[in-house]
């Protein structure tokens, strides 16, 4: 009897181990990971900012958070004429990085088509990882070790979801803003193309946002939605951005182009404007079946679509939309990939990979990747600057 019980327990244990191994393998295959060894510096918000708001039509209020969890927080606040050149800095507590820049209150909508044959480096879904973003750009010679633009007339394409899920959203956004100014001065271009998480933040959906930003808003004596509304500097700046652009004949968007788009006569200007008109309007399905509903849909929309990797598409389905915009390929983020890769005969390039987190470690270990385009050549570029042709 005892032997039968032991044999039974042994069989149950082996079955459990096998099922657990299968579950872990399945999860890892589909991009699952777990975080550990969280760094307490994630709760260091001293010098966090700047958080900038219109006080009135001619005055900007520039705010930095000071203090700590034990003694309490307060605001270091200054006011500037909105038409002046306003000095600002941003601080990253994990390694005491500080970068400085000037604010220009003149915000313009960027072009959506570029044709200059310059090289392109694209990366997506950084998800508030300032250190990862910074180190990747240094390794791939987009910036130098002093965090200054060194990519010449190149295009740095940021394919959305640079916010949410971690503690460095503010640092990431201001770093993009700084590089945008520097690139423009040196003949290059930073393309910040919005993803669904930027839109979620503008629309008041914070389900994926670090709890830090609820507390930041409270310290500022504001609601969380006010961090990115039209009265905030970052909100006005983000709401000027496009959701799709064409650079040297290649389309870039966070999600992609649903095949239904082929039923409408529309150009990139109209696509971007329709979606921009809805940046602050949460989406919900309604009976209208029109181009607006298609473009802003949280299933089929430009910033949300996953069909290249989830739907049963034919080559002609992909190429029909590319031909509509006279494009030779499309680069997308949003849908997690094991590595940067091309599909549909190099017509679709997926670049969303798991990136390391600023304040914790992950299992399995994660390493950043991006895409470099030089002429007709496509390369995976790795966290250490190594290049592998696609």
Examine the pLDDT at 6 and tell me if it is beyond 90.
no
pLDDT of the residue at 1: 62
User: What's the pLDDT tens digit per position in 269-323?
Assistant: 999 999 999 999 999 888 878 999 999 999 999 999 999 999 999 999 999 999 9
Residue 34, number of CB atoms within 10 A of its CB: 10
Examine the pLDDT at 28 and tell me if it is beyond 80.
no
Q: Which strands make up the sheet holding 377-382, listed edge to edge?
A: 189-192, 155-158, 120-123, 369-374, 377-382, 387-389
Higher per-residue pLDDT: 15 or 232: 232
For domain 106-389, say whether CATH 3.60.21.10 is its number. yes
pLDDT of the residue at 23: 41
pLDDT of the residue at 20: 43
Examine the pLDDT at 29 and tell me if it is beyond 50.
no
pLDDT of the residue at 92: 98
pLDDT of the residue at 25: 46
pLDDT of the residue at 362: 78
C-alpha closest to that of 277 among 228, 240, 232, 237: 240
How is residue 285 written in tokens?
Answer: 């399905």
Confidence of residue 76 (pLDDT cuts 50, 70, 90): very high
Examine the pLDDT at 254 and tell me if it is beyond 60.
yes
Higher per-residue pLDDT: 365 or 105: 105
User: What's the pLDDT tens digit per position in 333-366?
Assistant: 999 999 999 999 999 999 999 999 999 987 888 9
pLDDT of the residue at 286: 83
Query: Do the beta carbons of residue 302 and residue 243 sit within 8 Å?
Result: yes
pLDDT of the residue at 62: 98
C-alpha closest to that of 239 among 199, 196, 184: 199
Confidence of residue 171 (pLDDT cuts 50, 70, 90): very high
Question: How far is it, in rounded angstroms, from Cα 311 to Cα 335?
Answer: 12
As a whole number, mean pLDDT of residues 103-123 equals 96
pLDDT of the residue at 303: 98
pLDDT of the residue at 44: 96
Question: How far is it, in rounded angstroms, from Cα 91 to Cα 114?
Answer: 33
Q: What angle do CA 173, 179, 185 make, to 5 degrees?
A: 145
Examine the pLDDT at 24 and tell me if it is beyond 80.
no
Examine the pLDDT at 48 and tell me if it is beyond 80.
yes
Helix (H) or strand (E) holding 100: strand 97-103
Per the listing, tokens 């240094």 go with 138
pLDDT of the residue at 346: 97
Examine the pLDDT at 17 and tell me if it is beyond 50.
no
As a whole number, mean pLDDT of residues 168-177 equals 98
Confidence of residue 97 (pLDDT cuts 50, 70, 90): very high
Could you give the percent of the chain with pLDDT greater than 70?
91
pLDDT of the residue at 287: 82
What integer best gives the mean pLDDT of the chain? 93
Confidence of residue 191 (pLDDT cuts 50, 70, 90): very high
Question: How far is it, in rounded angstroms, from Cα 96 to Cα 111?
Answer: 35
Confidence of residue 37 (pLDDT cuts 50, 70, 90): confident
Higher per-residue pLDDT: 31 or 77: 77
pLDDT of the residue at 265: 95
Kindly list the domain boundaries of the chain, sorted by start residue: 2-32, 106-389
Q: What angle do CA 297, 368, 91 make, to 5 degrees?
A: 90
pLDDT of the residue at 16: 54
């Amino acid at each position: 009897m005892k032997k039968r019980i032991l044999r039974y327990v042994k069989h149950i244990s082996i079955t459990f181990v096998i099922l657990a191994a299968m579950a872990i393998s399945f999860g890892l295959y589909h991009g699952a990971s777990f975080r550990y060894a969280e760094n307490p510096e994630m709760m260091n918000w001293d010098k966090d900012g700047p958080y900038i708001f219109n006080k009135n039509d001619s005055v900007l209020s520039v705010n930095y958070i000071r203090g700590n969890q034990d003694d309490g927080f307060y605001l270091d606040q200054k006011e500037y004429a909105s038409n002046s050149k306003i000095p600002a800095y941003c601080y990253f507590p994990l390694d005491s990085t500080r970068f400085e820049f000037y604010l220009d209150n003149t915000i313009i909508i960027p072009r959506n088509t570029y044709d200059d044959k310059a090289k392109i480096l694209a990366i997506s879904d950084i998800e508030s990882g300032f250190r990862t973003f910074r180190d990747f750009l240094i390794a791939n010679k987009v910036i130098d070790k002093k965090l200054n633009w060194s990519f010449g007339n190149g295009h740095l394409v940021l394919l959305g979801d640079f916010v949410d899920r971690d503690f460095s959203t503010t640092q990431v956004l201001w770093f993009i803003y700084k590089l945008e100014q520097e690139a423009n001065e040196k003949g290059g271009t930073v393309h910040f193309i919005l993803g669904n998480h930027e839109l979620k933040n503008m629309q008041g959906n914070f389900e994926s946002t670090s709890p830090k930003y609820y507390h930041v808003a409270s310290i500022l004596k504001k609601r969380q939605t006010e961090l990115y509304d039209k009265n905030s500097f970052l909100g006005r700046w983000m709401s000027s951005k496009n959701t799709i652009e064409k650079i040297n004949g290649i389309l870039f968007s966070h999600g992609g182009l649903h095949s239904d788009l082929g039923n409408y006569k529309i150009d990139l200007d109209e696509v971007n404007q329709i979606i921009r008109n809805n940046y602050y309007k949460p989406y919900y399905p309604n009976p209208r079946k029109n181009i607006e509903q298609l473009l802003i849909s949280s299933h089929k929309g430009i910033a949300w679509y996953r069909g290249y990797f989830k739907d049963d598409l034919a080559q002609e389905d992909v190429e029909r939309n590319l031909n509509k915009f006279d494009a030779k390929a499309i680069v997308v983020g949003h849908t997690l990939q094991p590595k940067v890769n091309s599909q549909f005969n190099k017509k679709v390039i997926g670049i969303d990979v798991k990136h390391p987190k600023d304040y914790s470690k992950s299992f399995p270990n994660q390493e950043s990747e991006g895409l470099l385009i030089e002429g007709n050549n496509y390369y995976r570029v790795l966290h250490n600057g190594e290049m592998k042709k696609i």
